[in-house]
Amino acid sequence: MKFSETRFGHTGAQTLTWVGDDLVDWVSGRVFRSGEKTDFAEGSVPYKFDSVLTVPDGKGYVLYERLGTKALLLYEGRIVREFNRSYYQAGTYDYPICTSQLENGRQILAHCPEVYSRLEIEDLFTGESLTSRVTESPDFFHSRLQISPDKKWVLSAGWQWNPIDALKVFALDKVMTEPELLDAEPAFKILNPDLEVQSAVFTPDSNILIVTADEDDYEELEDDETFYGMKAGQVALFSPAQKKMLWTQNWTTPPGRIEVAGLWALCLYEHPRLYRWSDWTFIHEWPHLKTGKQNSSIATIGSQSPATSFQLDRGRFAISSSDGITVVQACG
C-alpha cells in the first residue's frame, strides 16, 4: 500500500477537521485547500479550543478544550450552544464528550455537564435531558466517550481512583428508557488495577477494539479475573453483541490513542502506525510525524497531542507540527 504526503507551511493549527476536501482550523479560521492554498472561513472561534468533533449530519462541529471545562456547538456557521463540565480534575484528563444520531434522526450529545461522575445524554441543539434521574452516580471519571455505529452501546474509557484506567459499556436503548441504569452496573466493564485500559474504540461493525497496559508490577491474572480472556499488554477485538472476545494479540509497541474508520486503525503513540483492525495486520508507519505519548485518558508528561484530523475511511489523515501541517493520503 502506498501513501503520498502534502505539506502546508502554516503553523499554530488548533482544531483541524475536513470540510469536503479542505482542512479547516475553526479557531484561527484558516482553510487549507488542495494545491497548498490558504483561505479564511466564516464563523471562526478565537479561543483555546484544541479538539473538534463533527456532528452526525455534517453541518456542524463541537469544539472543546481537551483539558479544560468549556465546549461549544458551531452549527451552520453560528454558535448554537455552550457546554461546560466540572472543574474537578478537569486539567488532568480528557473532556468527556461525543455526539451521535438516533434511529429517529434526533442528534444527541453525551457528556458530563454537572458532575464528573454523572453521564448525561441530551438533545444536541436544545439541551433537553433524555436521561434525567434521581439516582446517585458511582465515583467514576467518565472520559473518551463514544456511541457505537449501530446506536446500541455507549462506551466510557475513563478512570477511577487509585488512579486506574478503566472501561464501562452501557446498552444505549436501556439507558434511554431507564436512565438510572447509567448509575448501576454497566453491561460490560474493566475495573481492575492489574488490567488497565489504555484505549477503547468502536469499530465500524460496532465491536470494541481494546488495548490494555503492560506494567512490570501488574499481577498475573487468573482466568476468571481476565476480561473474556484478555490480559495485560494486549490488543483485542471484543463483540458486545455476542458477549465474546473475537481475538487477542500481545503488543510490543504501545498502541496508545487509536482512531478507527473504514478498514483501518491508526495508533498514535509517538508516531502514526496503521493496522487493519479486523486482524491487527501491520500496514505502515510514519516515524517522522510526532503525535505525542497519550496512552490514557489521564494527561501525563509528553501526552499532549498535536492538532489532528482523520478520515481513514477515505484513506487520509492530517497532523500538525511546529513547522506546518502534513496530510497523508493512501494512493494505491
Q: Where are the domains of the chain?
A: 14-258
With cut-offs at 50, 70 and 90, classify the pLDDT of residue 112. very high
The predicted pLDDT at position 214 comes to: 92
What is the C-alpha separation between 179 and 9, in angstroms, rounded? 49
Region 31-45: mean pLDDT is 72
The predicted pLDDT at position 38 comes to: 63
Under DSSP, is residue 90 helix (H, G, I), strand (E, B) or coil? helix
Look at residue 158 and tell me whether its pLDDT is greater than 90: yes
The predicted pLDDT at position 175 comes to: 98
C-alpha cell at 188: 460490560
Question: Among 295, 326, 286, 296, which residue's Cα sits nearest to residue 309?
Answer: 326
What is the C-alpha separation between 96 and 199, in angstroms, rounded? 14
Query: Cβ distance 284 to 276 under 8 Å?
Result: no
What is the C-alpha separation between 52 and 72, in angstroms, rounded? 10
Q: What is the mean pLDDT of the chain?
A: 94
The predicted pLDDT at position 303 comes to: 83
With cut-offs at 50, 70 and 90, classify the pLDDT of residue 117. very high
CA atoms within 13 A on the CB side of 298: 15
Region 145-167: mean pLDDT is 97
Look at residue 37 and tell me whether its pLDDT is greater than 70: no
- Residue 86 CA from chain centroid, whole number: 19
Look at residue 147 and tell me whether its pLDDT is greater than 60: yes
Look at residue 35 and tell me whether its pLDDT is greater than 90: no
pLDDT tens sequence across 162-211: 899 999 999 999 999 999 999 999 999 999 999 999 999 999 999 999 99
Would you say the C-alpha torsion 40, 45, 47, 53 has a positive or negative sign? negative
The predicted pLDDT at position 215 comes to: 82
Domain formed by 14-258, architecture? 7 Propeller (2.130)
Region 15-28: mean pLDDT is 91
CA atoms within 13 A on the CB side of 37: 7
